[in-house]
Amino acid sequence: MTTLFTRARAIRQSNTWIYSTMLFSALISLTASLVLSIDAVELARDPTADLSCNINSVVSCGAVGVSWQAQLLGFPNAFLGLIAEPVVITIAVAALGGVRFPRWFMIAAQTVYTIGLIFAYWLFYQAIVNIGALCPWCLLVTLSTTVVWVSLTHVNIRDDYLPMPRAWRSWAREAIANDIDLLVVIAWLLVLALIIVTRYGSALFA
């Protein structure tokens, strides 16, 4: 039991585990982005959806689909997923195949993906607070983006790549060695689930 536990802890720090998690989540994120992109194109193509409230509409009455939040850069946000996730998939596959990326490369990946994570959470916040509608595919993007970011951060802390003060770095490595990151991620995802359930519970389960 104890040895099994110790072995599981060791596996959690291995390249295979970290990059497999990254690959799996990035594939989910890419799939969700593809579905959302197709939806966005369909929505743009259907002119009748603009003049009534369709029961089968993904976003109610088209008001949300044309909201500025849905197209922050002038095109559907989901397109960003189609651009970014294949890069993550490539990194994960290459690393699983034994490629070791230079430090500057991993710092760049961390920086760009952190911006992506902030964007994903901004959208989550907008969906809950300002738009008031949830779509399952968008939630899947939030979830998988979180997992990809966590695995990327995990590997960069483990390899001591992040440009932070020395005290922070040793603290972060200590935290990862003690599986604190795992606990924080699980707790964080549960907090998100709690937010969704308290806000939309009556609509979801009534």
Instruction: With beta carbons less than 8 A apart as the criterion, state whether 20 and 95 touch.
Output: no
In the shown chain, the binding pattern of residues 1 to 40 toward another protein, with x for contact by CB under 8 A and - for none, equals ----------------------------------------
| Residue 156: CB minimum distance to another protein, A | 22
| Residue 168: CB minimum distance to another protein, A | 19
Please report whether residue 187 would count as binding another protein according to CB under 8 A: yes
Specify the amino acid at residue 82: L
Q: What span, in angstroms and rounded, lies between the C-alpha atoms of 99 and 179?
A: 25
| Residue 47: CB minimum distance to another protein, A | 13
Query: What long-range pairs does 83-86 form, CB within 8 A, spacing at least 24?
Result: 84/112, 84/113, 84/116, 85/26, 85/27, 85/29, 85/30, 85/33, 86/30
Please report whether residue 167 would count as binding another protein according to CB under 8 A: no
Q: What span, in angstroms and rounded, lies between the C-alpha atoms of 115 and 51?
A: 36
Please report whether residue 73 would count as binding another protein according to CB under 8 A: no
Please report whether residue 52 would count as binding another protein according to CB under 8 A: yes
Candidates 15, 20, 60, 156; binder of another protein (CB under 8 A) is 60
Please report whether residue 186 would count as binding another protein according to CB under 8 A: yes
Please report whether residue 132 would count as binding another protein according to CB under 8 A: yes
Cα 160 to chain centroid distance, Å, stands at 23
Q: What span, in angstroms and rounded, lies between the C-alpha atoms of 59 and 156?
A: 38
- Cβ nearer to another protein, comparing 68 with 198: 198
Contacts of 20 (CB under 8 A, 6+ apart): 92, 96
Please report whether residue 194 would count as binding another protein according to CB under 8 A: yes
Which residues here bind another protein, judged by CB under 8 A? 51-57, 60-61, 63-64, 131-133, 178-180, 183-184, 186-187, 190-191, 193-194, 197-206
